[in-house]
Structure 1
């Protein structure tokens, strides 16, 4: 989906309501758990990678993002053709269901063909050398290889990838100069296959490994299909002679393919006799360069450029060299080394001088061949993001909360500025104090932690704030009091001083977890929402309940309108509701989503528009007074967990369940000052300020206590002309 297109979203009539498309400013998200999921386009500019159930095409020069949407679950395999015309992707599905494989047109960004011939999971997917065939390999529940004819868009054949007592196969590799040939590898299995399109069949030849038992994780062959190197989970490399004829038209090996040797690197350490140094946690990715050098990516984050020891090549010519076939020998000389901290799941060449490395920690690095200098290009969360927050009156940075950490991001460059680590715990809420000197966070271990925004140093921690975990958090403008909500249903108020943090009171009204808390602009009221179907408005001066709201839903979020007259709620009933603060009556009810729950809402600073997101993966911007959708944003690959306008109303940030972050250009209506902001702008005399506020309040969708539709309320306490 291109940025200029307006997507057709279920439940939204684009023509009738004149719904516009939110313009995407930047996107942060990369699924590093997909093996060989990072691919570089032959044009040297674009990279292709999965994010949840969508394929992302990113231009590394212009930072433009395009999305290919069509999968219903997480993408497990991805490849781009050597010509650059096609992209193919496969997904995971639930047990008992078929997993789909989709063929995309790269230039038109549209779906060309789709088939569902695999069960549960597509383990690997590749194009043949000349783009005639699309090859896909099923997972453990399937175990079959499927051959798809790209030009005729039809299935040719399928067969089991392993035979007899061999284990599961989960690696596919196409031959470089023989289009109908490819290889499969896995647990104790390594085979060469030939496609007969006329007979609609494929035949396989097993590679002789003698008594050696290995699990193959990756492959790389030279340009003439003479030698193939296979990285294994043991941490060594198998060198295979394929024994193809020198004529590329001959597709059958002249002799049985066999293993030449099993090698590892020459260690710089002094090792005991009879031992070798293996790559830790296995070899996950491998590249064979045009000069015959190998680039090895290991499970411990090591990336090394190695070359075969010339002395070994001399010994290979001797008859005694057969003794070297059945053991791992240190025959690779290390030229250069780099480290990317976590397992390397993808290695791909950008050009002759540089390459990309994708890691299990959802990071993408650029590595130069001459110096092996590592440059971080993309970093993102590795799991669900639970909250997003801007500092007050400072739109240049924002914070996100996830499992193990809090991250601070630059809004303009979409790059990570700071990472605050708290291992083994989940941050459910993050906010900034009004003076910007402290980051407050709520954690599932029941602790409220405060950090410095520049260094991430821990300032203080309120231990045992809630015995079942802290689920909601807010702070007064003065910074002297924090209000927190817990999974046990209690709302607690804390007195904050530089040296001590003291519990003021505990409010016990909710029967279920508190999902959201918000304080009004006057700092005398707070509203809390709970999954027990209740919202309670509290007097935080006297610490008593003012009003309670009940609904047949699980309230997910609640927010005050900037005028403090009404509150907005959303929940599992797919509704967005306007409630009167005075008496808790329902004023308006909107259809927030036609298919799923609305998880989050956020009001713009001027109160003219608000944004919502939910399980339908769609961002909606609403006109507050009109109650209609004005803009939508489609691009998320998972449920939308949080949305937030920047303080200046220029940006809208949304986060998802797959760890992705989208920065949108907010509508201009979110930046316009409204009448209730006149006091902060300092314009006009006191009479005009009061008059403007009264006119603004009178336009809000509400009613007076007298139930007279002609009555115009004059203030937030609901007094009418009568």
Structure 2
């Protein structure tokens, strides 16, 4: 056996929108950085070429870019009781230059100091610590508790722009300004005196001169605070105390002579940007994005009978609404992207990235992916330019070259378990957990037909003959059903009751005269599609998860919970040989190339392996 080569990723279609402030624009305005599973993706904006930073053992929870773009920082989530790592990467070389595991379970947020010397990381609820990592010395230099014992957890932090040793943290009933002593690397902290105000901070933004900042809250209003640092960045700040300016909100409808009502964002404020002209860009939990400006109000507001918890202070200049909570907002500016050509990138919790022209404020979908697990993937027969995927609530068709979504077919509240293209490519046939089989046109997504109540516990597997006239479905109750498909009607031909557990996979043989079904009861059955009866059965001490005919139809390959790929003779049903496909997890997916030389497997070990079918290993 020769050395096993690593498969290089051509592209990954995805974006983890659950990471707060996970989408970042590089200072060169030519690259964007965002988390994608346990990798960090660096993507060229114009060419869409991707580079991947690999090294995390679990999902990446937060990313950050240093002010000059030299370093990329990333933190991850881990299992309860385990350490969570925070890593520093060299942006140009795409290599790891530092790492520490001083947080427990989760790294909540990351930022870099303005001189790029320190990476500051904030631990999650199980940790509650702030850690300083010296990027030049490649070592941790300090740590401290992020909050007092009398307040809640800290969830976000932001570095100041002029003072290289200062940053701000915020969370549940706490807003604190920190300063790093240059000599001892100790951390000094001062709380912003909020008085009786009780808010849970979700995001923080500080203006370029470090004079004031805004903190977005879960109640949908903003805390404006003054940092009160001297203009000279080298001056001492020992006696400086930040102060609360006010709790501000957006104005409602304006009525003459009456105090305008304050309007809060219904699901809180998740992201804030302060523009050069002082306007704010605010992203709400309800998907709203607004450009806000201060009200030109002369004199004091008319006093109401009841003291309001916040003050109407901003008017919305432009507004748009996206699907899903806004978790990231980044402004893309460069010499070529100035004034009306500036782009605002918005990342949402529904795993989508939108590009919004600041002048017109019209959103354009740039990156999208499934929000939940992808259950199946299918290519049209004899074509590799497009493919379809099945997930929770929708079926999507993608272009392979550009990795862009071409079509989205939405069926709300149901999960698509399997999908396939008909032999002539004129329909997309899908199976759903409500027990129905739905067929759609591949160009427009129009519904062609529905076969109702095909299986009483949901349809789990599906395949079709090349002529598109016979459809074989498998259900979670263990039945295999054969259907006669005509444009005007779809009728049941036979119910085959052999499996005792859910049918996990079905495939039609190359000659279209047989079909094989694999079940989680440890049986794999070959059916005669002409006589509609069982022709052969194979048993093994495993839960079969996948099955595939080799191109000649003489052998079957199966995979399952025993971590092995088994070769079976289709004529006799005898086991020809077995190969160990994984060392730690079940084999969930299996497919063979059209010439039969190679096969690919994927399983619970999170690895995709390509093997030669005729070799013993």
TM-score, scaled relative to structure 2? 0.94
Instruction: Considering Cα pairs closer than 8 Å and 6+ residues apart, tell me whether 1 or 2 has the greater RCO.
Output: 1
1:338 to 317, 320, 336: 320
Distance 1:625 1:97 in 2: 42
2:506 to 517, 540, 547: 517
Distance 1:607 1:152 in 2: 54
Deviation (angstroms), 1:400: 0.3
> Which residue matches 1:460?
449
Distance 2:389 2:562 in 1: 27
Do residues 61 (structure 1) and 25 (structure 2) align?
A: no
> Which residue matches 2:331?
349
> Which residue matches 2:145?
160
Secondary structure, aligned partner of 1:414: coil
Distance 2:207 2:421 in 1: 55
> Which residue matches 2:290?
304
Do residues 32 (structure 1) and 17 (structure 2) align?
A: yes
Larger helix proportion, structure 1 or 2? 1
8 Å CA contact retained: 1:438, 1:453: yes
Deviation (angstroms), 1:274: 6.8
Do residues 568 (structure 1) and 553 (structure 2) align?
A: no
Question: Aligned ranges for residues 62-101 of structure 1 at < 5 Å?
Answer: 62-101=47-86
Secondary structure, aligned partner of 2:263: coil
Distance 2:64 2:167 in 1: 15
Do residues 423 (structure 1) and 423 (structure 2) align?
A: no
8 Å CA contact retained: 1:118, 1:144: yes
8 Å CA contact retained: 1:284, 1:299: yes
> Which residue matches 1:360?
349
2:207 to 222, 242, 245: 222
Distance 1:426 1:557 in 2: 20
The Cα offsets for residues 224-276 of structure 1, whole Å up to 9 and x where unpaired, read as: 21010111111112111111112211352644311112222233466996732
Gaps of 5+ in 2: none
Question: Aligned ranges for residues 625-644 of structure 1 at < 5 Å?
Answer: 625-626=614-615
8 Å CA contact retained: 2:427, 2:442: yes
Distance 1:373 1:441 in 2: 34
Do residues 373 (structure 1) and 362 (structure 2) align?
A: yes
Do residues 604 (structure 1) and 586 (structure 2) align?
A: no
Question: Aligned ranges for residues 579-598 of structure 1 at < 5 Å?
Answer: 579-598=568-587
Secondary structure, aligned partner of 1:43: coil
Distance 1:362 1:116 in 2: 28
Deviation (angstroms), 1:493: 1.2
Deviation (angstroms), 1:424: 1.7
> Which residue matches 1:541?
530
8 Å CA contact retained: 1:188, 1:214: yes
Q: In the superposition, relative to structure 1, how do residues 499 and 208 fare at CA in structure 2: closer, same or farther (>3 Å)?
A: same
> Which residue matches 1:328?
310
> Which residue matches 2:472?
483
Distance 2:277 2:2 in 1: 60
> Which residue matches 1:698?
none
8 Å CA contact retained: 1:243, 1:254: no
The Cα offsets for residues 631-681 of structure 1, whole Å up to 9 and x where unpaired, read as: xxxxxxxxxxxxxxxxxxxxxxxxxxxxxxxxxxxxxxxxxxxxxxxxxxx
Deviation (angstroms), 1:536: 0.9
Question: Aligned ranges for residues 103-122 of structure 1 at < 5 Å?
Answer: 103-122=88-107
Distance 1:131 1:458 in 2: 55
Distance 1:51 1:23 in 2: 16
> Which residue matches 2:394?
405
> Which residue matches 1:207?
192
> Which residue matches 1:239?
224
8 Å CA contact retained: 1:211, 1:326: no
Gaps of 5+ in 1: 1-15, 629-722
1:169 to 148, 151, 154: 154
Distance 1:618 1:324 in 2: 61
Deviation (angstroms), 1:345: 0.4
Distance 1:30 1:37 in 2: 9
2:264 to 278, 298, 313: 278
8 Å CA contact retained: 2:474, 2:481: yes
Secondary structure, aligned partner of 1:311: coil
The Cα offsets for residues 390-444 of structure 1, whole Å up to 9 and x where unpaired, read as: 1223333211000111011122221111111111211110011112222111112
1:385 to 369, 374, 384: 374
Deviation (angstroms), 1:478: 2.5
> Which residue matches 1:719?
none
Distance 1:200 1:551 in 2: 63
Deviates more, 1:575-584 or 1:586-595: 586-595
1:49 to 34, 38, 41: 34
Deviation (angstroms), 1:309: 2.1
8 Å CA contact retained: 2:261, 2:312: no
> Which residue matches 1:11?
none
8 Å CA contact retained: 1:171, 1:185: yes
8 Å CA contact retained: 2:470, 2:483: yes
Distance 2:578 2:254 in 1: 71
8 Å CA contact retained: 1:261, 1:327: no
1:394 to 383, 402, 413: 383
